[in-house]
């Protein structure tokens, strides 16, 4: 009998086609995502789930308990903070993700937001669209020079490294912080290690690239924002909760820092009355990090490859919890 799969989002056809003849499946094709109750009901009949971040589709204890037959949770994302990996592991359920294929797309968005915030491009666009652009003036919408300024990367993993490569092309001075030194990358990119607080106090731009975990939740809060230079710009394309969003809004209102470029938010979609939406010095995109045609297709292939491998008794290539693998 073919396994039953629930796909909680409308992944590109390339992934769906890979399932034909290999599994019975249902795809949630609508936007917004399914209601929680419906999702849990689908999980309860599934041998495998393709999961995405989001309140209704998170694979927490409740969803894992609902999945009585569940053997594998394949995340259509590199981040897997929406999955209770420890609990899945205790139940012998495999968890997989999609690393690597979204590195360049996400680094592009991070560098794009850096440029947008530094050069006040979204403010300029809003000015034009409002019909209020009346003159060219030598003091109009002056931003920060990107070339020659310093960039501090929190977490020199795949995406942080790809961002450093882009910044090198702009002659930026590169610094990073993290749990370990990356001496090979220091040599290759001319990037220098700084302790966390020193990096915050030193750099013109700070970009966050660590995964969300109990250790990194609220990593950038009031104290850290106050350590940054008043001219500094914070970029976040990792997860919203790594930054204390209320503290960030205050930092931007009260000029502790000059600006921010954000692709991720504590709650997604962002609340309509969130103060960030009213602040001119924030450039923002709605979680578009991996949103290129090529990347989303590669993620679909990878998520389905992981899923099918697990269901066919093979070790999935991107197994997040290898201790469940009995091989």
Instruction: In angstroms, give the least distance from the CB of 79 to ligand DGY.
Output: 3
Q: Smallest gap, in angstroms, from Cβ of residue 286 to ligand DGY?
A: 12
Which residues are designated catalytic? 239, 268, 287
Tell me whether residue 228 or residue 320 sits nearer to ligand DGY (CB atom): 320
Given the complex with ligand DGY, which of 53 and 160 has the nearer CB atom?
Answer: 53
Q: Compute the distance between CA of residue 246 and CA of residue 127 in angstroms, rounded to an integer.
A: 26
Least separation in angstroms between CB 53 and ligand DGY: 5
**Distance in angstroms (rounded) separating the CA atoms of residues 166 and 108:** 8
Q: Shortest Cβ distance from residue 240 to ligand DGY (Å)?
A: 10
Q: Which residues contact 151 (CB under 8 A, 6 or more apart)?
A: 114, 163, 164, 167, 172, 173, 174, 175, 203, 204, 205, 206, 207
Q: How far is the CB of 290 from ligand DGY (least distance, A)?
A: 5
CB of 238 closer than 8 Å to CB of 209: yes
Start-to-end C-alpha separation, the chain? 22
Per-residue tokens: 50:
């393709």
Give the nearer residue to ligand DGY in terms of CB position, either 54 or 124.
54
CA atoms within 13 A on the CB side of 256: 17
Residue 263 Cα distances to 51, 79, 128, 168, 185, angstroms: 20, 14, 23, 22, 26
Between 52 and 191, name the residue whose CB sits nearer to ligand DGY.
52
User: With contact defined as beta carbons under 8 Å apart, do 236 and 260 qualify?
Assistant: yes
Q: Which residues make up the interface to ligand DGY (CB under 6 A)?
A: 53, 77-79, 102, 289-290
Q: Which residues of 90-108 are buried (b: 16+ CB within 10 A; e: fewer)?
A: eeebbbbbbbebbbbbbbb
* Nearer to ligand DGY among residue 54 and residue 143 (C-beta): 54
């Amino acid at each position: 009998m073919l396994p039953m799969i629930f796909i909680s989002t409308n992944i590109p056809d390339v992934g769906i086609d890979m399932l034909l003849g290999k599994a019975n499946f249902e795809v949630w094709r609508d936007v917004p995502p399914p209601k929680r109750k419906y999702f849990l009901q689908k999980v309860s009949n599934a041998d495998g789930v393709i999961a995405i971040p989001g309140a209704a589709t998170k694979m927490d204890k409740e969803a894992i308990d609902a999945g009585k037959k569940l053997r594998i949770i394949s995340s259509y994302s590199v981040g897997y903070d929406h999955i209770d990996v420890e609990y899945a592991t205790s139940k012998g359920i495999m968890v997989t993700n999609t690393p690597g294929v979204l590195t360049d797309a996400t680094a592009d968005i991070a560098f794009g937001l850096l440029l947008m915030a530094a050069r006040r491009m979204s403010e300029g666009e809003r000015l034009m669209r409002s019909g209020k652009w009346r003159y060219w003036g030598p003091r109009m919408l002056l931003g920060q020079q990107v070339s020659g300024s310093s960039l501090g990367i929190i977490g020199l993993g795949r995406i942080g490294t790809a961002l450093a490569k882009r910044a090198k092309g702009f002659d930026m001075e590169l610094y990073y912080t993290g749990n370990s030194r990356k001496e090979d990358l220091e040599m290759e990119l001319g990037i220098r290690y700084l302790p966390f607080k020193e990096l915050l106090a030193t750099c013109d731009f700070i970009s966050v690239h660590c995964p969300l975990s109990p250790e990194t939740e609220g990593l950038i809060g009031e104290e850290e924002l106050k350590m940054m230079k008043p001219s500094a710009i914070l970029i976040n394309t990792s997860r919203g909760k790594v930054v204390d969003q209320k503290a960030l809004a205050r930092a931007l209102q009260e000029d502790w820092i000059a600006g921010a470029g954000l692709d991720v938010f504590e709650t997604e979609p962002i609340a309509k009355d969130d103060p960030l939406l009213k602040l001119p010095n924030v450039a923002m995109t709605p979680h578009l990090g991996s949103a290129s045609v090529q990347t989303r297709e590669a993620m679909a292939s990878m998520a389905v490859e992981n899923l099918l491998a697990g269901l066919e008794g093979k070790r999935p290539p991107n197994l997040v919890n290898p201790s469940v693998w009995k091989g």
